[in-house]
């Protein structure tokens, strides 16, 4: 476990960060979704109907902030220096005017668009990682996040057909996912809940013994694919050894307790109890050896009772499968931290993660506030056409944001705006005015 560093954060340093590094133009372009006024089909009110919220020093919380231009957004952030910026939904009307509209039953102030979002937090995995607990993360448990990104990203694209997906490091112990396709932004709460439930495997609470239950003669294709493509390998090749899942009695008992057949569990226990006392001169890692033995007993033999058939997969799923915060995804009005914020506890910037290379992502080398400002000082004041971030470690983060996410998204948005505009023109030509 890597010891927590001296806090790499000082609120005083937020001012220069917001002053020189925060990518306002990119955030504005993203949140505008193509409604930049350049096309007659653009909705000029769109950006202004988006809710932002700021957390200020002293835990002051400002909700329902809205802006009509990139400049307004920039000025407000620079002026207020928020510890955290959250992004909410796009409403029917400008949130600043909500009191004038929220009357009676008619619900005129209500969310109309909101990205489909996911929040995966390492603390939800505390019962399957031994290296860290709570707010800490290290390279031994980070693969759990890598797994989550791979599984969810693949399903969002292959199963649901989404294309414009942004993964962001949350700054400390998790990742966020923003699905930005038009189709996703217009999903109802019920549809969002259905997607979250589609992804849910882990059920039950502290009181139930086994919390992953994979019934049925076969796994649903999504689960089967996830297992074959991601979970199995990560479990066997990385987590087994990183976490020493079978190395000690306490740890292997946890796995043995998931085997419904007591005779198999006893046999394994018998073998392993002896093994513990021998010197570890074996070439192969003890966890790998024991897992092989476990699998052999569970999977061999033609006639396995129902409860045993899926046991191997259940164990693997329990230790690896993504654990999502359901509530975050289910409601359109749920706020989520904006990318490129700085985490006050770690000083790290919430940078994008490339899902195609997420196994290379290292949370311990994410740029920190101190580091960036030092880099700025060293580089001197260089007026760069890209903005000052390009000379710093933040440069690659912003580039990634643009090339893999923002540019394709804006292209698709423009096409959508043009398409629906021509459609409207066509329709008005066809209809006969009374």
Partner 1 sequence: MEIVRPQSHRNLFSSNDAVSVPTIPLYRSAPPLEVRLEDFESFAIDRLRVLKGISDGLSRGKKPDEMEKLVEESWKVHMRHQHASEVLNKDIISHFVLRLVYCRTEDLRKWFLSMECALFRYRFRYRFRFLTTEAQRAIMDEFDLTCKAVNNVEFESIKEKLGQVARSMGQPSPTVDTIFYKVPFEEVPELVAGRKVFISQGYAYVAMNQVVSLVATLFRSQLSKTLILTNRKWTASIRDQEKHRLTPIVEALSSSYLGPDFSQPREYAEISLKDIDQVAKTSFPLCMRHLFDKLKEDHHLKHGGRMQLGLFLKGVGLNLDDALAFWRAEFSKKVGLEKFEKEYSYNIRHNYGKEGKRTDYTPYSCQKVISSTPGAGDQHGCPYRQFSEENLRAALSRMGVNSRAMEDVMDKVRNRHYQLACTLTFEALHGVACDAGINHPNQYFSDSQKILQPKKDSSA
Active-site residues, by number, are 51, 119, 121
Residue with the two structure tokens 């329902």: 64
Q: Does the footprint of partner 1 cover residue 183 (CB under 8 A)?
A: yes
Q: Does 327 bind partner 1 (CB under 8 A)?
A: no
What sign does the CA torsion over 148, 151, 154, 157 have?
negative
Site stretch for partner 1 (CB under 8 A), options 41-49, 189-197, 277-285, 373-381: 189-197
Phi, psi of 113 (to 5 degrees): -140, 145
**220 near partner 1 (CB under 8 A):** yes
Contacts of 425 (CB under 8 A, 6+ apart): none
Binding footprint of partner 1, residue count (CB under 8 A): 25
Q: Does 217 bind partner 1 (CB under 8 A)?
A: yes
Stretch near partner 1 under the rule CB under 8 A, chosen from 39-47, 182-190, 203-211, 380-388: 182-190
| Strands, sheet with 116-121, edge to edge from the N-terminal-most edge strand | 116-121, 174-179, 165-169, 352-353
Task: Check residue 309 for interaction with partner 1 (CB under 8 A).
Answer: no
Q: Which is nearer to partner 1, 189 or 293 (CB)?
A: 189
- Say if CB 84 and CB 341 are below 8 A apart: yes
Is residue 218 within 8 A of residue 224, CB to CB? The reply is: yes
Element (H, E) at 176: strand 174-179
CB of 434 to partner 1, least distance (A): 20
Site for partner 1 in 137-176 (CB under 8 A): 158-162
Contacts of 347 (CB under 8 A, 6+ apart): 7, 8, 9, 368, 369, 370
Residue 407 found at the interface with partner 1 (CB under 8 A)? no
Closer to partner 1 by CB, 226 or 320: give it.
226
Smallest distance from the beta carbon of 258 to partner 1, in angstroms?
20
The yes or no reply on residue 383 touching partner 1 (CB under 8 A) is no
Give 266's contacts (C-beta < 8 A, 6+ positions apart).
none
- When binding is defined by CB under 8 A, the residue of 90, 116, 141, 195 that contacts partner 1 is 195
Binding site for partner 1 (CB under 8 A): 105, 158-162, 183, 187, 190-191, 193-195, 197-198, 215-224
């Amino acid at each position: 476990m890597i010891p927590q560093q001296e806090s790499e954060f000082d609120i005083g340093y937020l001012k220069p960060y917001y002053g020189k590094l925060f990518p306002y133009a990119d955030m504005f372009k993203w949140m505008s979704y193509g409604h930049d006024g350049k096309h007659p089909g653009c909705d000029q009110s769109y950006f202004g109907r988006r809710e932002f919220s700021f957390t200020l020093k002293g835990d002051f919380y400002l909700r329902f902030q809205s802006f009509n231009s990139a400049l307004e957004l920039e000025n407000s952030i620079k002026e207020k220096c928020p510890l955290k910026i959250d992004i909410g939904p796009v409403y029917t009307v400008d949130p600043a005017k909500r009191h004038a509209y929220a009357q009676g039953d008619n619900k005129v102030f209500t969310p109309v668009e909101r990205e489909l979002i996911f929040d995966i937090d390492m603390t939800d995995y505390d019962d399957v990682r031994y290296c860290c607990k709570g707010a800490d993360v290290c390279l031994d448990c980070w693969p759990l996040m890598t797994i989550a990104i791979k599984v969810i990203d693949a399903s969002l694209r292959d199963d649901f057909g989404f294309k414009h997906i942004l993964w962001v490091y949350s700054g400390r112990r998790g990742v966020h996912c923003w699905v930005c396709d038009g189709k996703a932004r217009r999903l109802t709460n019920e549809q969002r809940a259905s997607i979250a439930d589609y992804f849910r495997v882990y059920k039950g609470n502290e009181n139930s013994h086994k919390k992953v239950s994979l019934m049925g003669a076969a796994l649903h294709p999504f689960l089967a694919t996830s297992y074959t493509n991601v979970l199995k390998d990560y479990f066997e090749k990385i987590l087994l050894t990183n976490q020493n899942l079978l190395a000690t009695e306490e740890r292997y008992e946890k796995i043995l307790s998931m085997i419904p057949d007591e005779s198999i569990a006893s046999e394994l226990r018998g073998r392993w109890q002896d093994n513990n006392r021998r010197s570890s001169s074996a070439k192969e890692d003890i966890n790998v050896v024991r897992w092989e033995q476990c699998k052999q007993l569970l999977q061999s033999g033609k006639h396995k009772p129902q409860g045993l058939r899926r046991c191997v997969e259940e164990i693997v799923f329990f230790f690896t499968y993504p654990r999502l915060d359901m509530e975050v995804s289910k409601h359109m009005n749920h706020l989520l931290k904006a990318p490129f914020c700085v985490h006050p506890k770690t000083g790290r910037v919430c940078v994008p993660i490339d899902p195609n290379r997420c196994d290379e992502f290292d949370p311990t080398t994410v740029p920190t506030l101190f580091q960036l400002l030092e880099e700025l000082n060293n580089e001197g004041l260089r007026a760069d056409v890209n903005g000052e971030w390009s000379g710093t470690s933040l440069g690659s983060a912003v580039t990634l944001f643009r090339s893999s996410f923002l540019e394709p998204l804006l292209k698709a948005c423009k096409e959508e705006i043009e398409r629906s505009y021509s459609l409207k023109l066509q329709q008005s030509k066809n209809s006969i005015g009374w």
